[in-house]
Amino acid sequence: MDIRDFIDKIPFARKAQAVAFDPCGLIAISKGSGIMSHPNPNPKDNMTPSILRAKYNFKEEYFSWKAEGCEENLHLYLINRLDSPTSGIMLASANKELAAELKKAFKEKSAKKTYYAICVGRPFGKEGEWNDFLDIKRFGNFVRGKTGGGTRAITRFAFERIDENKLMLSLMRLEPKTGRTHQLRIQCASHKLPILGDETYGDFEANRRLRRLAGAKRMYLHCAKTEVEFEFNGKKINFCAEDKLPQSFKDIIEFNGEILIKKMGKI
């Protein structure tokens, strides 16, 4: 089946869509904020939708569904995931063998991801590198982490711009060199730049204030670009997929008269 035909048969949920592909079977998906990469293992906790309206095999990490005109179920294998509040690019594969090669590439650090975050505060320096040790604890389906002990986490950061509404917010570009759970969220918080809208590691008072002033209802972390280099069937492939900055980011970073009016207490 041609990759275009395969994509047409994927039962994407609302706020998820394919944005790029390679003929080998690699697919880049744009995931919106507030939906999960895959269903929760506990059916009782599946109140939040995932990217596909399909069953998920947790052991082999793929979605499975019956498509019109196909005798056998179709499968979509996840390569990487994004937290539910995070939006942006995630990768998937139309076949198991390719998925294995891509996961190997991610493990060997042949993949590069670029994120943007709106953070509360101002950074010390315009760019640099965070090198921390993260201690990650799992409690059933919940994950919590902090700096100190554990495994090394490295992230390149760059200050992009301040917000035009004088809310003491910064747009940051983040490039993780390691792939630890909640890495960017924990490191931003520990370096006094909590991500706006983060309900676990964020500045809760600032979250409430910005929700009132600007209607900030999401976590402002977005995977804008993913690049990966790998070999498949004897061919070297360089793949890049991008997802533009959401309008919700621009609404807060760019000038907004309504926000300024609310700040002055006139409405």
Residue 93 CA to residue 25 CA, distance in Å, equals 6
Strands 111-120 and 221-232: antiparallel
Virtual CA dihedral for 162, 163, 168, 172, nearest 10 degrees?
-50
> DSSP of 145-156, one letter per residue?
EEESSSEEEEEE
Q: How many CB atoms lie within 10 A of CB 248?
A: 19
b/e map 175-195, b = 16+ CB within 10 Å = bbbeebbbbbbbbbbbbebbb
Q: How far is CA 160 from CA 173, 178, 184, 242, in A?
A: 7, 22, 16, 18
- How many other C-beta atoms are found inside a 10 Å radius of the C-beta of residue 203? 20
| Among 225, 192, 176, 259, residue whose Cα is nearest residue 19 | 225
What's at 241, amino acid-wise?
A: A
Q: Is 83 a catalytic residue?
A: yes
Chain Cα centroid distance, residue 266: 37
Q: How many CB atoms lie within 10 A of CB 205?
A: 9
Mind giving me the DSSP string for 59-96? TTTEEEE--TT-SS-EEEEES----TT-EEEEEEESSH
Catalytic residue (one of 83, 163, 203, 243): 83
Q: Which positions are annotated as active-site residues?
A: 83
